[in-house]
Amino acid sequence: MLVLTRKCGEEIVIDGGIRIQVLESKGGRVRLGISAPRDVLVARSEVYSSARVNTSPIDLETPLGAA
C-alpha cells in the first residue's frame, strides 16, 4: 500500500485518468474530490460491498434522487 501525505488543494493522479483532490480536512474527516472516466466505478467501500451482494446491478446512468 502506498501511503501519501497531501495538503488541501493537492492531488493524486492514478494511471493518468483518475484524479483525487483533497478538498477539505477538519475534525478528523477528509473530503475528497474524485474525477474518473465514466467506465470506472467510483464508490465508497460500503456501497461497493452491498452492490456486489445485491442481485440487481447498480444503475450508473440514473442520477441519485431522480427516480
pLDDT, tens digit (0-9, with 9 covering 90-100), for 11-56: 999 999 999 999 999 999 999 999 999 999 888 888 877 766 665 6
The pLDDT, as a whole number, for residue 50 is: 74
CB 56 within 8 A of CB 50: no
The pLDDT, as a whole number, for residue 48 is: 77
pTM above 0.85, yes or no: no
For the chain, percent of residues with pLDDT exceeding 70: 75
Report the chain's mean pLDDT, rounded to a whole number: 85
CB 43 within 8 A of CB 51: yes
Other CB atoms within a 10 A radius of the CB of residue 12 amount to 14
How does DSSP classify residue 9?
T
